[in-house]
Structure 1
């Protein structure tokens, strides 16, 4: 049963929301515009605020839904299966087979995962994102700061170590997915 749930979580995460919204409603391949990343920020900047917001919300749901379902099916206190389901959703988003394994950066889907697992820590990480974005005007830097802050909040909220470890792994993946943004920020040519 868990294998099926993990596979379905991966496949849900793999739905290329940004690509589909841009293609269906605007007739463009989002990977050929803006940053080239099939994610909510690129849709926002390239196509508009409404499609960007819709992309973000759907990407959040891609992380939240597998966690929610796994929590209902496996109501155990350690959250092992919900965490694994969420991790598979993020992996599907980042390495989607529908776009030759070149998906988004995992931020919105990861946000949905942790919103389903630990809402209070996720809320604090969202505040870090908003403050960083307001101060620097860089979405990428806000995403990186939020992903780094999440394990810290989980630690201080005394959450199980396995949750902290998973959040660290996801933070490393998110930072790695933003390596081109980091270079642009350092060279002062990031949008």
Structure 2
């Protein structure tokens, strides 16, 4: 039991490492929460720091979701432990202990968790994001579409209750974190990318 608790805490701590804030500080951009959209994520880093830095943030945020799930999968066969660690990493990104609990919206970290659960699930959710972005060129709308699709794809592909429930929780949290974007989309005032 102690090792599972350690894995949950480690997942949350790893999730709390904000790639956007770390990369911004290393690149002397300051805290990304004070610029652009105010969100510490790859899209905001793209706005304030360019494509190279955004790609680094995207990779970092995805890996911090994937890695804890992947490691836990090698140490445990229990879906509730594996999915719990994934949720812990996701919550760490949203509410990071190292950054006054002001985190991102969880898009890339959530993708990493889903890839850790099942690579095909992650790929299909990414495909939804890419399809909507290719059509509308609005990152937040793409993220919302992917979040809505994720639980349905999880139930269809995997049907493991623990993973499907955690995927649904992550989707709902992502929708909540995008509530200002939803309002702007409904008012037709949301900017592209």
Q: 1:50 aligns to what?
A: 52
Q: Is the 8 A contact 2:128 2:146 kept in 1?
A: yes
What do residues 84-116 of structure 1 show as CA deviations (whole Å, max 9, x unaligned)?
Answer: 111000000100122211100111111001101
Q: 2:17 aligns to what?
A: 15
Structure-2 separation of matches of 1:121 and 1:144: 16
What SS class does the counterpart of residue 39 from structure 2 fall into? Answer: coil
Runs of 4+ in 1 over 6 A off after TM superposition: none
Superposed counterparts of 1:100-179, under 5 Å: 100-179=100-179
What do residues 30-76 of structure 1 show as CA deviations (whole Å, max 9, x unaligned)?
Answer: 111100011111001211011001001000000011001101111x1
Residue 161 (structure 1) shift: 2.2
Greater shift in the superposed pair: 119-128 or 85-94: 119-128
Q: 30, 33, 38: which is aligned to 2:32?
A: 30
Structure-2 separation of matches of 1:150 and 1:80: 18
- Using the size of structure 1 for normalisation, the TM-score is 0.95
Gapped regions of structure 1 (runs ≥ 5): none
Residue 122 (structure 1) shift: 1.5
Residue 159 (structure 1) shift: 2.1
Structure-2 separation of matches of 1:145 and 1:44: 21
What do residues 165-188 of structure 1 show as CA deviations (whole Å, max 9, x unaligned)?
Answer: 111111100000000111111222
Q: 1:187 aligns to what?
A: 187
- Using the size of structure 2 for normalisation, the TM-score is 0.94
Structure-2 separation of matches of 1:86 and 1:121: 14
Q: Is the 8 A contact 1:66 1:89 kept in 2?
A: yes
User: Over the residues paired in the alignment, what is the CA RMSD in angstroms?
Assistant: 1.1
Gapped regions of structure 2 (runs ≥ 5): none
Structure-2 separation of matches of 1:28 and 1:99: 13
Q: Is the 8 A contact 2:79 2:160 kept in 1?
A: no
